[in-house]
Structure 1
């Protein structure tokens, strides 16, 4: 039995795309364990992954993040607009954290004795530990970082160029010449990306080393362990459904939700908004009575019913919408969301709007187009769905990892 340790950043956007692959590894007969900086056992168990989840133990040095390192909420939504603050935040996340995080991962490796490690490519510490212990490791990307064309540019890529020598020094003891693509550290053994040629063609990306495996989940009866109750009985069958979510970190942008509503006024649509801590009676009162405004929604169970999704461009939300053929309006706010927007424009698979200049009139034109089932955008969304469905998804990812 192969023992496989999966090391991930404990945020939804990082954990969720690994669940399906972990489930398939168990089916192949692997003994799977996880490592994260905080305990994710409840989600793993809810996803029927009854495996060990290592966290930094009492006997490992405590790693303390600086006070300004926040990852969500109103203050975070404000701070990410400050280019220099965001630059420091990225350096903290990717580089400054790495050395302090190694001890906990090394302890997990010593106890579990894995044959293979699966590393979140943003967890440089995990890749360093794998390299320094001579372990074979796979990088499973939760974004399109590895397939980003070399000639593209955005604030994130500018930041990474500034700190390139710093992150290379982290891997000074590695036996391999470690490479990076955008934020991701690239495994010399195996790199997996959840996408397809229809959306991220290799002749654009120049990537000949990543395995494209399609969606990170099976569309039939898939549970990733974070599902919540949802009032499906409140759906209006006579209206198109518009779903809006700005993810688990950047949700505190009330004006974007309000502008989307204003743009959709008078159209035969029902609003389904996932708004996290904005979910107050006062905020919900802004929207029509038949709107469904929830703190959190079971996105995978919801998407089969949706006619259009409005998203910040988080990689998980995009691939999940694409798997169900849902056309997208993107509001990229920071980091790799801008890269996602470039892929979206290039593929003609959705419309990119400016979140810094919310304009109900402009947005309405975009929404009308995306809600037209015969539009080129909807046709492209269906083509991407068909391509994703043929690539194997988590089963393919698991088989590639297992045979390392």
Structure 2
């Protein structure tokens, strides 16, 4: 039996796949502890999970786009979060005495603490942005600037000199929750990163969702632009509702958005702040999304094609991969009009080639082995 300490950012899309891996390790007889916010983690990792509490540093919604969002993410969140959580992670290590740390690529305090204690650690890529490092070739100055941010976090922890390597990538190895077309060019990632595809575990049910609202005689479309983009997405949601308005005789749509986002939505458009995504997917025929890795992978493994309107981060990479695989299409978040959105939805619903390509890409993702494969990799790291 081994002990694994999990360190993630307090972001649902980062925690969910790591929680599936943690559950797989526990099924295999290992001990797991999380270092992080009790209030944030508890609903995601379950009542029985062991948590070393660290005060929550909330992630504000980002109004910035493009390169400005990248700089804001590092300066305004990743580096300050490392500074705010490092001592708490140190305390978790002292309390739990882990054999291996499992560290979100953006939770760089976990990497720093592992180095400080000479502990084995494995980096985890819950997105494709840090995995493929797209700035290295096209924007080398930005990549160099990210390096200065990593060095600043290292120095703030009282560590001498420069970091021994890129803190996003453990020298012991890494795990990425992707595979197939979504994993990009192998030349763009370290050779010691293993691709396991999506790690999908059990999630808390949503007893309030009106499952009886779904009409089996109509097609079903889910529209979600991610929790961090809700403030940015109101205009897109309205254009999406306008696109779907004349299609009530053939489809129903569930829109994941805050209350009041769509006033006067037609009867065939249901607006919910949150939905039981995994429960809904078997009933869906298309997903319209921002292109976050979890949403994309979960749709594909259920054979559901996507329309992706990327906003920031790795979403454009994922959108391009889905379009290249024939499993969906990419549209402009800012400029696509309702008639173009309507046409895109109808293409996905009417052309079976999109669903076939989504199933094929989903099979490639599932072949990675998911949470169980990740658990075996982590076991091997402790046994080395």
Contact 2:251/2:268 (8 A) holds in 1: no
Report the count of equivalent residues: 374
Which residue of 60, 63, 71 maps to 1:71? 60
Query: Would you say the 8 A contact 2:5–2:33 is kept in 1?
Result: yes
Q: Secondary structure at the match of 2:359?
A: helix
Offset from partner CA, 1:250-269 (integer Å, 9 cap, x none): 12322211211222333311
1:40-66 superposed Cα distances (whole Å, 9 cap, x missing partner) = 3532564xx612211237xxxxx9x6x
Give the one of 63, 76, 82 matched to 1:98.
82
TM-score (norm 1): 0.84
- The match for 1:40 is 40
Q: Deviations over 1:322-375 (max 9, x none)?
A: 121111111111222223223333333321111111311222222222112423
Runs of at least 5 residues in structure 1 that lack an aligned partner in the other structure? 58-62
Deviation track 1:135-177 (CA, whole Å, cap 9, x = no partner) reads 111112111135426577789x864442322313544659984
Cα contact 1:331–1:353 (8 A) shared by 2:
yes
Name 1:178's counterpart in structure 2.
165
1:341 aligned to 319, 326, 332, which one? 319
Say which of 136, 143, 167 aligns to 2:120.
136
Note if contact 1:199-1:347 (Cα within 8 Å) is conserved in structure 2. Answer: no
Q: 1:114 maps to what in 2?
A: 98
Assess, with a 3 A threshold, how the Cα gap between structure 1 residues 392 and 311 changes in structure 2: closer, same or farther.
same
Residue 60 of structure 1 is matched in structure 2 by: none
Contact 1:25 1:398 in 2 (8 A): yes
TM-score by length of 2: 0.88
Q: What's the counterpart of residue 235 of structure 2? A: 255
Q: Is the 8 Å Cα contact of residues 198 and 371 (structure 2) preserved in structure 1?
A: yes
> Cα 1:150–1:354, aligned 2, differ >3 Å: closer, same or farther?
closer
Unaligned runs of 5+ in 2: none
- Are the aligned partners of 1:176 and 1:188 in contact in 2 as well (CA < 8 Å)? no
Instruction: Classify 1:320/1:187 alpha carbon distance in 2 versus 1 (closer, same or farther; 3 Å).
Output: same
CA RMSD of aligned residues (A): 2.8
Greater fraction of residues in helix = 2
Cα deviation 1:47-94 (Å, max 9, x = unaligned): xx612211237xxxxx9x6xxx8523xxx4xx2248647623432222
- Quickly say closer, same or farther: Cα 1:89–1:403, change in 2 above 3 A: closer
Residues 1:237 and 2:216 aligned together: yes
What is residue 52 of structure 1 aligned with on the other side? 50
Q: Which residue of 2 aligns with 1:378?
A: 355
Q: How far apart, CA to CA, are the structure 2 residues paired with 1:234 and 1:382?
A: 26
1:211 aligns with 2:194: yes
**Which has the larger displacement, 14-23 or 199-208?**
199-208
